[in-house]
Structure 1
């Protein structure tokens, strides 16, 4: 059975009920914490270097924010979740210290974070140039990423923190971002066992969504097709093919699946029930960076609060539609912004 929702905006009373319920939640985030760094360079100030045949980038503004698992935690906090914990491994470096500063400002619990001197705090650094026209151009990113896996001893210390965390929370979100990241095969098996025991665990994995079972999986359409080695007979898969691929992943991994389809919406597979929830159109310029983190945090929060999958997805669409309008940043959506967006959508219908 396929249940296609109309895409109507949630009732305002339900939105308020959702905010009330999530304020009672305790949610943990496990995975790859990251720092996003923005360097804005004004090329009008650049002068040819005396030592090299290059024009340097004169940085006039520097901004940092939480990324990856950190951004998921920030979204949970700004949404109004009562208690948010981040469990990760960071390095003893300036990026790690900056990440901890952001967590403190957001009042995100950092007691389950481990610091190692031989580990790198991941970061995405984005140089942005401006010139005479004031148009901004983004240079290739500068990435800080670990090229080796956690040692057995380091994994064991992280498992000890996970064991402590699960006793405190109503749900866990796993962010599996990097090839050599925090969510190793051994860590993954620990999480799968907790899911089998009944703890709500939802996973967002860039490259290994098919390695997780017994959980709530949130891949996009490309991650799903890749996991299944699925090739469409058409240039763009049909909705029937999308649904079939999401259903196949759910059956194979013994999991619930929320497959996002960008601006089209999302497909929710819960046992034999298939629900498609369209999203509302976002007009004008937009930036999808951070939208997936916002969707994930909003969606899981509402599921953990006891709302149905379709309602949780509709709320997540609403929150993510705010973040995509925040250009040049990994943004979040707070209750005031969500209420304002609801009013605008209601007037447009």
Structure 2
């Protein structure tokens, strides 16, 4: 694709309507200092110091902020957030982005906002303290969530489904209800990124990495990148799932498999230190935006690959990619085209 073709596609992003349902979280970054020389007067234990705290949308929330960075102007979220200080910050971040949160439920009790803490100790991520991992969604609230999603689907071009946690919003007992709902909206494009229950999804393109694909098939992942392995086992998985498959292969690129189409894009050789946190979310958001805007799978792969390359070069943050950053990278690698 040329720079002008990429820009033209991005202009169409402002016209599409995207929804995201799933596990929303907050990433809480801060610098940690453990050798302070201070002890608590109350407990006598060492006191650690934190500084430079900043919050970023994580998990399904990172998909949302990637969509907005790409220029998608209409984004709806469906899920749960706690009635706590982290939940209020998440709502504030969504509000700043202009995200529609009418289907973001706040349970009366029993739901902690999901948080991944990211303490930076001497340039490395120290032990995390996570919140919301033991959440359990009631059947009543799930029914309300599905009713709201059904109303929302009448307005959407694309729905992204995210499952992140061990006790997720969408577990294996609830995927059937979601599959049945999706089947009633054939004009909506569905894209799923599901860590544990991807084998049960029907009617959606499923995004996996090579390890997730191996786990779903209960086989060993390849020791190194192996395209033949990805094609062979990707098609074996598709025989069960009956849907398209998007396989991210780390620095080797991305593979797309469907009934009558196979597309491959090689990864870009990037200099310096890289941070792969959130790169899969960037691929999901970019793929969804491209297909919602009418791009072909080959075009979507090309842009998603560059968007991920932008993201992984952003260190110690949950990165996103914008049109200007993607065009700059495109010009660097295609200056002689």
State the TM-score, normalized to the length of structure 2. 0.93
Equivalent residue number for residue 202 of structure 2: 213
Worse-superposed segment, 337-346 or 299-308: 337-346
**Secondary structure of the residue that 2:192 maps to in structure 1?**
strand
1:51: how far off?
A: 5.2
Equivalent residue number for residue 157 of structure 2: 170
Paired residues in the alignment total: 334
Equivalent residue number for residue 220 of structure 2: 231
Q: Aligned runs of 1:188-337 on 2, under 5 Å?
A: 188-197=175-184, 198=186, 199-231=188-220, 235-236=223-224, 238-337=226-325
Please give the per-residue CA displacement for 1:54-112, whole angstroms capped at 9, x wherever unaligned: 53221121010000111101111110112011111111111111100000111111111
Q: Aligned runs of 1:110-121 on 2, under 5 Å?
A: 110-116=101-107, 117-121=109-113
Preserved CA contact (<8 Å) 2:179 2:202: yes
Q: Aligned runs of 1:86-101 on 2, under 5 Å?
A: 86-101=77-92
**Secondary structure of the residue that 2:47 maps to in structure 1?**
coil
Q: Taking structure 1 as reference, are residues 235 and 343 closer, same or farther at Cα in structure 2, changes over 3 Å only?
A: closer
Q: Select 1:80's aligned residue among 71, 77, 82.
A: 71
Preserved CA contact (<8 Å) 1:209 1:223: no
**RMSD (Å), alpha carbons:** 1.9
Whole-Å separation in 2 of the counterparts to 1:172 and 1:62: 32
Please give the per-residue CA displacement for 1:149-189, whole angstroms capped at 9, x wherever unaligned: 31111111111211121111101001100121211345422
Preserved CA contact (<8 Å) 1:159 1:187: no
Preserved CA contact (<8 Å) 1:86 1:108: yes
Whole-Å separation in 1 of the counterparts to 2:234 and 2:320: 27
**Secondary structure of the residue that 2:307 maps to in structure 1?**
helix
Whole-Å separation in 2 of the counterparts to 1:97 and 1:70: 14
Equivalent residue number for residue 60 of structure 2: 69
**Secondary structure of the residue that 2:130 maps to in structure 1?**
strand
Whole-Å separation in 2 of the counterparts to 1:339 and 1:188: 38
Preserved CA contact (<8 Å) 1:41 1:61: no
**Secondary structure of the residue that 1:347 maps to in structure 2?**
coil
**Secondary structure of the residue that 1:124 maps to in structure 2?**
strand
1:190: how far off?
A: 3.0
1:220: how far off?
A: 0.4
**Secondary structure of the residue that 1:218 maps to in structure 2?**
strand
**Secondary structure of the residue that 2:8 maps to in structure 1?**
helix
**Secondary structure of the residue that 2:262 maps to in structure 1?**
strand
Unpaired runs of 5+ residues, structure 1, are: 1-9, 131-135
Whole-Å separation in 1 of the counterparts to 2:226 and 2:97: 42
Equivalent residue number for residue 31 of structure 2: 40
Please give the per-residue CA displacement for 1:94-136, whole angstroms capped at 9, x wherever unaligned: 1111100000111111111000122111010122224xxxxx2
Whole-Å separation in 2 of the counterparts to 1:348 and 1:92: 54
Unpaired runs of 5+ residues, structure 2, are: none
